[in-house]
Amino acid sequence: MSSHPLDLQCCAGCGAYWALRPYACAACGGSALRWERAGGHGVVVARSEVHRAPDGFWRGHVPYVLVLVRLAEGVVLMGHADPAVAIGEEVSGRAANIGGRELLRFEARRPP
């Protein structure tokens, strides 16, 4: 089992991607699933600024921004984001370390 925040399962039969670790592909029913690293590029579909942390660790980081991002692979992932990131904006995701915890962080995509 993979632990990188951008690792998804991909169906060998039809190429569909899954973030929720299925036992079989919901698109074709195939059971040959493999781990693949997503590119991390996508569009923000929802955004929330958190001011009430769920525990003592996160209280030290408020306010922080959580986003839902539809990746180019078609799946939607939740991750942290820069405060300036807006709904509809193109972003790039990467693994980030906050206080010893590896998590997914999205940043606005910069033109090449």
Segment 90-104 shows an average pLDDT of 92
Higher pLDDT, 61 or 79: 79
Segment 7-34 shows an average pLDDT of 89
Query: What pTM did the predictor assign?
Result: 0.88
Strands 7-11 vs 17-18: parallel, antiparallel or unpaired? antiparallel
Higher pLDDT, 69 or 19: 69
Contact 63, 74 (CB under 8 A): no
Ramachandran quadrant class, 99 (left: phi over 0; alpha: psi -120 to 50; beta: rest): left
Segment 76-84 shows an average pLDDT of 94
